[in-house]
Chain A
Amino acid sequence: MSDTEQTPAVPAQAGAPAVEAVPDREPLLEVDNVTLRFGGVVALNNVDFTLYKGEILGLIGPNGAGKTTCFNAMTGIYQPTEGQIRFRGEKISGKKRHEITQLGMARTFQNIRLFPEMTALENVQVGADAHHKTSVISALFRLPRHRREEREGREKAERLLEFVGIRHRMHEFSRNLSYGEQRRLEIARALATDPVLLCLDEPAAGFNPAEKEELLQLIRQIRDTGVTVLLIEHDMRLVMGVTDRIVVLEFGKKIAEGLPAEVRDNPKVVAAYLGVPDNAA
């Protein structure tokens, strides 16, 4: 925590085209000394970092470092034992999961969790429904609000499927889509909730290099539309290529934070990834 880098006003290098990252550094998500224990196991130990509006932050670490746990605490699945998480200035703990989504945080899952017996289009429509107000009564009698929201939701869903490149598959059941298409569909579904912050949990898992390159493009496009992105990944090359800043976790602790180049050269990070016997702490 001593090595926390404070002012990455310098834009990210490593091929990221966007230069306008974090101009005013408005904090979007503050993870404030969060500790999470499961019985005797300390899954997160005093983790502390801030995510600023408009950036792509990478959350990396070796397997079992607590990346997904951190994610789950942020999206309201786990309640932190100590510390707190604030999103757009509001405390996350105590909020219901769908309220957090409505507040503007959306996520994808490490192991894909679509609605398998719904079409691709319907999957995205569920996301779009997050901000719809159609009640049971207005759906029952097909009142104007239902019709309007239904039309809007459908147009939005088609637009997003187009954006991630699987519009031609929209009437296919999501369980019948290929692995890569399913990953893209998850992103489209998450984007349909109009997020301010999009959390991607290992979106490139199982991708070949060409697919990874396409995904990088997609993530940059998403950022360019004004959405802040938090990316969990353990493929270092992918992370280096797209993120503005990186936070590194190991055994539930933050061991480094900074620009990609700094993190890459940080001896603790190298040790964590390569297993060099190094006790510098």
Chain B
Amino acid sequence: MTTVLERVRSGREAAGERWRGAPRWVRWVLLAAVIAFFYALPNKEFYQYLGPIPTPGANFTQVMFTVSIYVLLAVGLNIVVGFAGLLDLGYFGFFAVGAYTVAVLTSPSSNIKTLWPWLLVVPLAIALTMLSGVMLGTPTLRLRGDYLAIVTLGFAEMIRIAAVSSDFLKGQRGFNQIPHPPGKYADGKPFFGVLDARPYYWLVLTLIIMVVIGVRNLTHSRVGRAWISIREDEDAAQLMGVPTFKFKLWAFASGAAIAGLAGALFAGKQNFVNSQNFELLNSIIILAAVIFGGSGNIVGAIVGGGLVAYMIERFRGIELFGVELYEYRFLIFGLVLVIMMIFRPEGLIPNRRRAAEFKDRRKEVIVGE
């Protein structure tokens, strides 16, 4: 057992080494190939050859859209949890703020009936979500660790309960006829229609690429170093001149902005938003995805978010001994997480630093024996 694991592990490390050692152009070509693959993925002409990858029980392009939204959320949460080390259990609350901003300002069933176009409201939704992040962060980011986790958990519940019970936010009835993103084909048919999820998926995929470039720039700068130093030792960071509160707030705001964008995209695609979309479970799933993928690593967050969202949908329509596997999806998910934490606690694609740390610990254990 251990030898197999060791071999898998060393193989993966070798792959990582080879990736870092490869010439620049090879990496670019590979990256371009991966991106092209994901752009092609929701086309039936393409995915029908992919064997077991398409989901049997659900429309695969729809699933891919959901997956892409989760990936975007995981990238955003990774800033807060992975880089700045702030345990945020209510991240989905920001998603809700983004989606509801779009719903209230565009839907004809909203009380204020502004009926603004979707595209105009998106920047507004991002700004408002950022603002809600700052509002939540200003009093709470003085707390550390577990305390912060509890307050953020409360925040997400507040948003959800407000959505359920406030008349302004329409509860279960929700908002309908939220407009789609603009854009028409030459023949006048809208680019973003009702049935075909592919354009939405492509839109989200493009935005993911842009967001990832932005996050990467941030993490390779003073800002990212400040975040990591806060995660590593907040007191020492302060004494080295890092305005920790300001940068924690920025981490919160940037994470929130990405969630707000995801919420706005979701609302624009779904064209219907009600209080059932924002269960607490979603916050937990995204957090689990970030940790599953490898917190503190952007690629890890992408893979984690994608895999977790995909696996949950993959179980739909599979019957095993007469039971629908989808019913047990969270049981299986939980099991996978537990196994994961035993054999690979640093996540699938860990931050290089974490990997080094865990490797060291193994060495220490061996020496200790």
Interface residues, chain A, with chain B CB atoms under 8 Å away = 75, 77, 96-98, 101-102, 106-107, 109, 113-118, 122, 125-127, 129-132, 134, 136, 139-142, 146, 149-150, 153, 173, 175-176, 189-190, 193
Contacts and interface: CB of A to CB of B under 8 A. Distances in A.
Interface string B197-240: 00000000000000000100110011111101100110111111
Given A98-B238, A176-B360, A193-B241, 9 more contacts: A98-B244, A106-B240, A118-B353, A127-B240, A129-B225, A134-B221, A140-B214, A150-B222, A153-B222
Contacts of A109: 236
A131 B242 CA distance: 9
B112 to A, nearest CB: 32
B190 interface: no
Interface of B: 214, 217-218, 221-226, 228-229, 232-233, 235-244, 250, 254, 351, 353-354, 356-357, 360
B240 A130 contact: yes
Nearest to A172: B356
B228 A117 contact: yes
A149 B220 CA distance: 12
Contacts of A149: 222
Given A102-B241, A117-B357, A130-B241, A139 B228 contact: no
A130 B233 contact: no
Contacts of B223: 134, 136, 139
B228 A193 contact: no
15 contacts: A98-B241, A98-B243, A98-B244, A115-B228, A117-B351, A117-B353, A118-B228, A126-B226, A126-B240, A130-B241, A132-B222, A136-B250, A139-B218, A140-B214, A193-B241
A129 B250 contact: no
Contact of A107 (B222, B239, B243, B357): B239
Contacts of B356: 173, 176
Contacts of A101: 238-241
Nearest to B244: A98
Contact of B239 (A97, A116, A118, A139): A97
A142 B357 contact: no
A189 B233 CA distance: 14
Contacts of A102: 241
B354 A117 contact: yes
B357 A126 contact: no
Contacts of A106: 239-240
Given A139-B217, A141-B217, A175-B357, A131 B241 contact: yes
